[in-house]
Amino acid sequence: MNLKEQYSQLIKAEAKRLGFSFCGISKAGFLENEAAALEKWLNEGRNGKMVYMENHFDKRLDPTLLVDGAKSVISFLYNYHNPEPIFGSNQYKISQYAFGEDYHLVVKDKLKELMLFINETIGEVNGRAFVDSAPILEKAWAQKSGLGWMGKNGNIIHKKAGSYFFLSELILDLDLEYDKPVTDHCGSCTACIDACPTEAIYEPQKVDGSKCISYFTIELKDAIPPEMKGTWENWIFGCDICMDVCPWNRFSKKHEEPRFEPKESWLAFEKKDWEEITEDVFQELFKKSPLKRAKYNGLKKNIDFLLNS
């Protein structure tokens, strides 16, 4: 076994020990195929008011601009699936990924541990950790690293474990053994396209961000367009519809991360409790929660929209 294989196996074993479900490695370089697609998506205004998607165009496509001398992109999948039915008909819905502590904090802690392990075990390696917080095309790298294929809903699907995963990366100036992409297994299935109530999936693998329920309830700071009234039921933060209907998610398993468990304090909230929530209660209940991204006013905006639909 050569050093590249040895290092790769060490990293993958430690990633598994830290709780990552899957780890794949690809060669750092310019994402030529994705460049034209990203440019077209932006030119068509599919990013809506997410102007940050227009920034750092070159860096999104080339990891060597993020880490000097980058040679490898290591991609990770971290499970967050909670298969238990949480919300009843008299409750508002929150996307599964937001049930527990903010994944940026949880996964970043794991990546820091892994980076420390690499430097202690392999030697001084220059690199950076990314958890959905920098200009990097995470899904493209996960695909190149063999962690799954791009589903028609735009999510990475793993053949044995579905798509309820957080994506993250380490970009290193270290040569490693590279994995190969896997083939697409969506076939003729259109379950996600058919189920999307806002028709955000305008072509297979292409999602109009400006039409997605997650965009309206998390990213959009302005009022939700009135033509969307009556389109979706009870979602006040994010949306899981396109993943809930995906046949591959029958293989999804319950996560094993204690920090992703929902707080009992809000699990029993009925609609009235959400409608009457004060800012102080919101700040206390969701101190380290992804819901902080929408902020109190954003959450109230989403609730008011549903009340007036």
**Tokens describing residue 13:** 């074993």
**Tokens describing residue 138:** 């995470």
**Tokens describing residue 9:** 């196996």
**Tokens describing residue 209:** 């961000």
Q: How far is CA 152 from the centre of its chain?
A: 15
Q: For tokens 């001398």, what's the residue?
A: 69
109 a catalytic residue: no
Per-residue buried b or exposed e for 164-174, using 16+ beta carbons within 10 Å of the residue's own CB: bbbbbbbbbbb
Q: Is 31 helix (H, G, I), strand (E, B) or coil?
A: coil
* Neighbour tally for 61: CB within 10 Å: 21
For β-strands 235-237 and 93-94, DSSP reports them as parallel
Q: Which entry of 58, 102, 109, 132 is annotated as an active-site residue?
A: 132
CA distance linking residue 145 with residue 148, whole number of Å: 8
User: Residues with catalytic annotation?
Assistant: 132
